[in-house]
Amino acid sequence: MLRADAAEQSLLGTIIAERYLVTSLIGEGGMGMVYRAQHVKLPREAAIKVMHASLVRDPASLARFNREASAASKVEHESVARVFDFGETSDGLVYLAMEYLDGRTLKQLLEDEGPLPLGRVAALVHQIAAGLEAAHRQGIVHRDLKPDNVLVVRDDRGREQAKIVDFGIAKAIGAGERALTRTGFVVGTPEYMSPEQLLGEDVDQRSDVYALALLTYQLLTGDMPFDSRTPDRGLMARLTSTPRPLSVVRPEGRWSDAVQTVLDRALHRDRDQRTRSAMDFARAFDVAITAKPSRAKAPTPPAPVVVPAKPTPVKPTPVKVTPPRATPARATPAPAPAPVALPTPPQGAAPYVTPAQGRMPTAYPPPARPQVTFGGSGHRRWLPRLPHIPVARWSVAVFVMWFGYLVITTGSVNRAIRQVRSTVTQVINQVR
């Protein structure tokens, strides 16, 4: 195990381990500072990770740093940042040398470009899965896979290549960790931990599969599959809830049911129900993105209400009925009665007129004929006293046929009644 007691200081312009000339500062992590350096004897650039002086005195932190170097140096794969040197300098610096990668982390990529297209995500996921599979074959679980720990660089042909870095909390499968874990110390990044990691259970390669599915979901949507408005809510949702559908988090995307199914299986709370390996997940995702996007299901319309059709009335052809013409019987005229001498009417009274005298003298105007009306508001409902007129039985039949004809032609009984009233009124007025 490496040990160091030297105080931390600026290393720009210095030479580490007599072979790495520090040229610039790349960044700072939880375990130490990362510098860009040039090998003094070989045409090679390197990223030098120097452990914080305050952590060098902590046996557990020093052990983790050494374990990162040991684990990463065992994995030989193009998707894993290669570690080729680590040690302790004469002045007490603990360092780790790995290949220098000029690129952006997935976190920076998401901040710059937002959610990525399906094909691009599938290519990156396949590369990351291949790197994880190489580590798993060596019996190493990364346990801290997240956007900050994946760099995207360009190869000699200009293609994107994902590189996994930072095996600082990597664990050998089946190895105990009690000697390296302090009470209350969280191993990993909580936002990307599997449920078994959150519960402090033993982990295997399926924890890395869970983190890879979280990473994939974030590359597709720019968000996490669980409600993460607060850290506590995000942790509880991972232990109790199912992932939010892609269509809910990013409704403008065209998602197939196959893609959703692959993610749901890899994000299963029960690791026994989860996708078993990183490459199984990558291959299933490759197949799923070729499926046709599922269309939003339109609501099923209610069954139509069958309304019985209103029967079309058959309009009968009116039959013109000509009533038989009755031949009036010739009556023998009665002899005219003898004129009756009437007394002279009093002065101012109207003269007496007998039926035999016929019309009144022209000197006296005829009395006004009463106008007979039927129905209607305000109309008088009365008939004048008519002289007795014999009516034959056939007249009733004629009237019934005539009324039926009116009902047919007018299309309404009420209209036919009004027509009868109007005709009768006219006839009576003429008779009077």
The pair of three-digit structure tokens given for residue 70, joined into one six-digit string:
């040991």
* pLDDT one-digit tens code per residue, 139-160: 889 888 999 999 999 988 889 9
- CATH placement of domain 102-179+188-294: 1.10.510.10
Give the type of residue at 167: F
The pair of three-digit structure tokens given for residue 325, joined into one six-digit string:
């013409």
Out of 58, 102, 112, 144, which one is annotated catalytic? Answer: 144
pLDDT band at residue 233 under the 50/70/90 scheme: confident
* CA 225 to chain CA centroid, nearest Å: 17
27 bridge partner residues: 34
* Mean pLDDT, range 166-178, rounded to an integer: 56
The pLDDT value given to residue 422 = 86
Find, among 250, 268, 242, 238, the residue nearest to 118 by Cα. Answer: 250
* 3-class secondary-structure state, position 18: coil
The pLDDT value given to residue 345 = 58
User: What kind of fold does domain 1-100 have according to CATH?
Assistant: Phosphorylase Kinase; domain 1 (3.30.200)
Find, among 34, 32, 6, the residue nearest to 20 by Cα. Answer: 34
Q: Strand 150-154 to strand 15-16: parallel, antiparallel, or no bridges (unpaired)?
A: unpaired
Yes or no: say if 49 and 30 are a contact pair by the CB < 8 Å rule: no
> Which secondary structure element, helix H or strand E, spans residue 207, and what is its range?
helix 205-221
Give the type of residue at 222: G
The pLDDT value given to residue 177 = 47
* Domain range summary for the chain, segments of one domain joined by +: 1-100, 102-179+188-294, 392-432
Higher local confidence (pLDDT), 24 or 352: 24
The pLDDT value given to residue 379 = 44
* pLDDT one-digit tens code per residue, 88-131: 888 888 998 999 999 999 999 999 999 999 999 999 999 999 99
What is the C-alpha separation between 273 and 209, in angstroms, rounded?
A: 12
154 bridge partner residues: 160
Q: What's phi and psi for 164, nearest 5 deg?
A: -85, 135
Is the overall model pTM greater than 0.85, yes or no?
A: no
pLDDT band at residue 182 under the 50/70/90 scheme: very low
Please determine, for residue 281, whether its predicted confidence score (pLDDT) is greater than 90.
Answer: yes
Give the type of residue at 210: Y
pLDDT band at residue 3 under the 50/70/90 scheme: very low
- Is 5 assigned a catalytic role? no
Yes or no: say if 82 and 125 are a contact pair by the CB < 8 Å rule: no
Segment among 6-10, 44-48, 83-87 with least mean pLDDT: 6-10
Please determine, for residue 21, whether its predicted confidence score (pLDDT) is greater than 60.
Answer: yes
How far is residue 256 from each of residues 231, 244, 292, 315, measured CA to CA in Å?
A: 30, 15, 6, 61
HSE-CB at 354 with a 13 A cutoff on CA atoms is: 10
* pLDDT one-digit tens code per residue, 380-404: 444 444 444 455 566 777 777 877 8
What is the C-alpha separation between 108 and 112, in angstroms, rounded?
A: 6
